[in-house]
Amino acid sequence: MAMPFRQNVRLGRYLLKQKLLRREKFPLLVELEPLFACNLKCAGCGKIEQPAALLKKRMPVEQAVAAIEESGAPMVSIAGGEPLMHKEIDEIVRQLLARNKIVFLCTNALLMPKHLHKFKPHRNFSWMVHVDGLKDRHDLSVNKEGGFEGAIDAIKMAKAAGFRVMTNTTFFSNDSPQNVIGVLDYLNDVVEVDNMQISPAYAYQKAPDQEHWLGVTETRELFAKAFANGRRRKWRLNHSPIFLDFLEGKRDLACTAWGIPSYSLLGWQRPCYLLDDGYAATYKELIEETDWDAFGRGKDPRCANCMAHCGYEPTAVIATLGSLKESVRAAVGR
């Protein structure tokens, strides 16, 4: 995984601790959603289809921090909705950093210029800006003209202020290998973001666009062509080599749905960030009362085309840190 070396060491120590404690299921990262409201209506996201009364709610700081503390996860990805619409999001970040959590704040970046002064650069804090392509492709995906320029300007502003900035890009069936190459070259070489995450789109049932989900074969073909000729080695991708092998069809992986659980205004989502089979009140209840063996490709038809990082990157990370060969490979970015 192309995270900073210090964070890799910390994650390795965390995994060793779980092994020594003989814990079979533990979180690597929690997807925290302290609100569902958003200032955009993206084609591939169904979060803002929640009832109006729920869209007005914001998770109290104490509730957000307590949930992360209960889980024991070393990393937190704060999403939504748009987290910068939460009036106390800076306090949630501050309290999680004070508890030595590694925090990624996911945003479409349009509100970053207004709120950047509320945050301070920290070795465990990263902005994670959503960028779905170059100008026309991104603006179409987020359904807003000017969305791309706004995001890029905010990234440059944050980097100039000393923040670590990453990006997250989702690809759909109407993306070509050249789309993938174009946006990753631009973010890597021109904008010079610190790291980039990528993911094939998952079929959200409530998303406005239901026509452009990628199947497994399409995903493998897309990334195999995009990664060809050594291109993937030059990009600062925030993924383990094993997960990237998985995306381009060089190896298959089982889903580790419990590795990246999701906590929102509704509770702990069963079984994962992408499926919605009800909610548990506590992390303990989520882990102990969910039938984890029932999910994954070949088991649940809703998982048939899923190759998203939230299910498969935990599998790849655990495999990487359990193998000296794969650990060395990850360290040198192969």
Residue 1: per-residue pLDDT: 46
Q: Are 302 and 281 in contact (CB under 8 A)?
A: no
Q: For 297-331, what is each residue's pLDDT tens digit?
A: 889 999 988 998 889 999 998 888 777 787 777 77
**Residues 283-308, buried b or exposed e (16+ Cβ, 10 A)?**
beebbeebebeebbbeebebbebbbb
Residue 256 is classified by DSSP as -
- In the chain, the percentage of residues whose pLDDT exceeds 90 is 74
User: What residues does 164 pair with on adjacent strands?
Assistant: 126
296-300 own/partner pairs: CB under 8 Å, 24+ apart: 296/254, 296/255, 296/257, 297/216, 297/255, 300/275
Residue 83 is classified by DSSP as G
Tell me the Ramachandran region of residue 297: left when phi exceeds 0, alpha when psi lies from -120 to 50, beta otherwise. beta
Res 333 pLDDT > 70: no
Range of the domain at 137: 5-332
Q: For 83-95, what is each residue's pLDDT tens digit?
A: 999 999 999 999 9
pLDDT tier at 214 (50, 70, 90 boundaries)?
A: confident
Q: Is 0.85 topped by the overall pTM?
A: yes
Q: Cα–Cα distance between 152 and 24 in angstroms, integer?
A: 41
**What residues contact residue 38 under an 8 Å CB cut-off, 6+ apart?**
45, 47, 48, 80, 81, 82, 85, 108
Q: For 274-302, what is each residue's pLDDT tens digit?
A: 888 999 999 999 999 999 999 988 899 99
Res 209 pLDDT > 90: no
Residue 285 maps to which CATH number? 3.20.20.70
Q: For 8-57, what is each residue's pLDDT tens digit?
A: 788 889 998 998 999 999 999 999 999 999 999 888 787 778 899 999 99
**Residues 78-105, buried b or exposed e (16+ Cβ, 10 A)?**
bbbbbbbbbebbbebbbbbbeeebbbbb
User: How many domains does the chain contain in total?
Assistant: 1
- In the chain, the percentage of residues whose pLDDT exceeds 70 is 97
Residue 319 CB-density burial (10 A; 0-12 exposed, 13-18 middle, 19+ buried): middle
The whole-chain average pLDDT of the chain stands at: 92
- Which residue's structure tokens are 């995903």? 219
Structure-token pair, residue 241: 């080599």
Q: Cα–Cα distance between 200 and 214 in angstroms, integer?
A: 7
